[in-house]
Amino acid sequence: MGNYLLSLYVGSLFLLIFIVSPVLLRTPKNKDIAGHFYGKILWRFYYAFGVLLLIYTLLIDFVEGFILLFGLGLNVALSSYMKKFKRSLGNIEDYAFDHPLRRKFRRLSYTSLALLSLNLVISSLILITNFRGG
């Protein structure tokens, strides 16, 4: 059961990072709307997989689950900060591309994506280790 839960988590992270994120966030226009939809998807991911990882932690492997929950928690904390920061900005397209506030938001977005990618690597390594019986 643990490998199924991890596979679902790893596959969803992969989909979020390599399919959803590039499609929505690389649009040349309407970045505000695309970001809004990406945020909605991301928060639903956090809720669903927070529960999944909690089940994994309590029923399968406490240490591995705790590590994965911690990684997800870092993303949740950063996304919460970004949500508040974005609300204070309003429409991101009202700022020039090189405006300091827009650059800060872009750096935060890249940091969030890097954290998700790190979660993908760690969860993939745990999954591979479990499949090998180690």
28's CB contacts (< 8 A; 6+ apart) are none
pLDDT digits (tens, 9 = 90+) for 55-114: 999 999 999 999 999 999 999 999 999 999 999 998 888 899 899 999 999 999 999 999
87's CB contacts (< 8 A; 6+ apart) are none
Could you tell me the pTM of the whole model? 0.90
67's CB contacts (< 8 A; 6+ apart) are 122, 126
pLDDT digits (tens, 9 = 90+) for 11-35: 999 999 999 998 887 877 788 888 8
